[in-house]
Homo-oligomer: A and B are copies of this chain.
């Protein structure tokens, strides 16, 4: 079960092993947004995204026998690197199942972080079957990217740090949202404060915003075709959705173009590198001020794992 106490427990485990990322600001961003903008820069986390938190805590909670056998994850992105990093630090084997057409750099990075990468053909092979076989053969424990109570609690430490460090009593906390692991976790981490987590998604992939509105799990019509690849998921998770329903404010939706412009502003004013999916929260703060309440808004800038060509697109918006 993920609850505020579990997030505090995760914070104790993660103390000294994840970075307490800084909260950045710029008067120039404040001017655009019409209120004070604080940016929790999780792009500066180990592996370039907040994912290092949840996977570390989940791995720390395994039994000795499970640790000996190792972990497995499916991911071509930030979760892969988070699991590989945490597993290496814990000294346990990690298998990451990745499509063979994943960017060569991501495959190389995951290997360089010490994981065994198992590639599969996206068109002809069944990822889940490959994973299930490997898990069974070797007794590996699956670390899911978001619908895992320990992963949610680990990500929640971002919320706890915001509550402790931001120096703000009452504000919307905008979170870039895929399956909702970070958003649900942050909402738990903010428990007992008047800070309110709100998911932000790209246009056309707003399953969480729609689910929060309708009260039931809604799905996206498509799962590709967005620059915000890090936060494209079919629907909110079974564990994450009830937490978000209970604790989060309404979702916000931004365009891809707004995400690119937010990346450019982060480059120019904060000197940090964001990926499109890690910039939608800042995009909402800058370009949708009328949908936000309060004198201050806090944005979780969730990741910076972007290739140069996409970053150039962002610079083109300047």
Contacts and interface: CB of A to CB of B under 8 A. Distances in A.
Interface string A248-288: 00000000000000001001001111100000000000000
Kindly report how many copies of this chain are found in the complex they form together.
2
Nearest to A109: B28
Interface string A8-39: 00000000000101101001100100000000
A311 B308 CA distance: 11
Nearest to A22: B22
What size tier do the contact residues of chain A reach?
20 to 34
A195 interface: no
Contacts of A43: 271
Contact of A22 (B44, B109, B311): B44
- The secondary-structure label for the interface of chain A is helix
Nearest to A21: B22
19 contacts: A19-B24, A22-B22, A24-B44, A27-B113, A28-B109, A28-B112, A31-B112, A43-B271, A44-B270, A44-B271, A44-B272, A48-B271, A267-B308, A271-B272, A271-B273, A272-B272, A308-B315, A308-B318, A312-B312
7 interchain residue pairs of minimum CB distance: A271-B304, A271-B273, A43-B271, A308-B315, A308-B318, A48-B271, A267-B273
